Amino acid sequence: MRPSASRPDQSGVPETAAHETAVLTIDLDALAANYLLLRERAAPAECAAVVKADAYGLGMAEAAPVLWRAGCRTFFVATLREAIDLRTILPDAIIYMLNGLLAGTAETLHQWHLRPVLNSADEIREWAAYCTSAGETLACAIHVDSGMNRLGLSAADVEDVREAADLWPALALSLIMSHLACADDQAHSKNADQRARFDHLRAKLPQTLASLANSAGILLGPDYLYDVVRPGVAMYGGHPRRQGDNPFHPVVHLTGRILQIREASPGETVGYGATRTLSRPTRIAVVSAGYADGLFRALSTGDGEHGLTAYLGPHPVPILGRVSMDLISIDVTDVPEALATRGAWVELLGPNVSAHAMALHAGTIDYEILTSLGTRATRRYVGG
């Protein structure tokens, strides 16, 4: 178990040791609140939880029990290793493995009471054959491709297996699912196209529970909810759609400690490559966080650019120059000197600096921000 701590103070940082230079605080109460909000929006559908990639980088060992206590009973992971790890944490959970049935792994899934999401006709046949040899009808899901051209049965695969009378009695089909490609854009016509294709394909297969909506899909409305929804990024505080405000609570708070305050003159430059030239007398705070801590190098700001703005207390403090491996420079000229001091903490991600805002400046998405936070910052878990 990773360290836990009391709630952050107004600086966003729980009590810290003198040697700690960056702190990643994960609010497990906010995680639970986001899950409950998603469950309310998805009702009467069951609200599962996606905890793959170590719960989007935030710690599956800490997040999964909190979600279980909030009432979640069905979980999705990507790989067999993740599924086994989750089973050791939640012995009674329903666990689906999204990446499918790798050849020769059926016995291991059976041993750990895991449910593969079968993505091809070959996988369906292999699972059915194993069930027959084991003498049990074992649960599984089937993923149909509704237009994303990633994992999932094609229309031809569906036709191939729909009339295979020997397959369906051998296994226990518990879920048919697909995945939306453009749910983050509510106005995109592909959403309705995929829903229609999903309905068309699942009508050819044995009747069972259906699942289409991810975090953004839940917000598309009741036509996309079906029987089970599978939120991920929204639970962790990310913004699941392009339009509108984010209704979900921030879960992640990343802070860096100021190592030094510097005075610089107009015409001087800041950082590698001398990409930022100062236009006024400037107080610079050097902060102990960089791309090794998940602050992408793409957050760098050169001359004439307005990049990510961090916060020192209530004061916005823009990044100056390039993000390096261990350090960033921020402009604290307009911050009271009593606040901008050696040892003070700067909010890099949190209530004032959302993962969505950071993603926009870095040219990426909330998912990549959350899963790239690294392991160097001291982790603190609060609540839960």
Place of tokens 């990409």: 275
- Distance in angstroms (rounded) separating the CA atoms of residues 359 and 55: 18
Annotation marks residue 272 as catalytic = yes
Cβ contact 71:39 at 8 Å: yes
CB-count exposure of residue 135 (10 Å: 0-12, 13-18, 19+): exposed
CB-count exposure of residue 213 (10 Å: 0-12, 13-18, 19+): buried
Partnered with residue 153 across adjacent β-strands are: 144
- Among 52, 96, 130, 224, the active-site one is 52
Annotation marks residue 291 as catalytic = no
CA nearest to 254, candidates 323, 163, 165, 348 = 348
CB-count exposure of residue 178 (10 Å: 0-12, 13-18, 19+): buried
Cβ contact 52:76 at 8 Å: yes
For 226, 259, 307, the CA distances from 42, given in Å and listed in that order, are 9, 46, 36
Buried b (16+ CB within 10 A) or exposed e, 256-294: bbbeeeeebeeeeebbeeebbebeeebbbbbbbbbbebb
Task: Tell me the one-letter amino acid at 162.
Answer: R
CA nearest to 14, candidates 380, 295, 384 = 380
Residues annotated as catalytic are: 52, 272
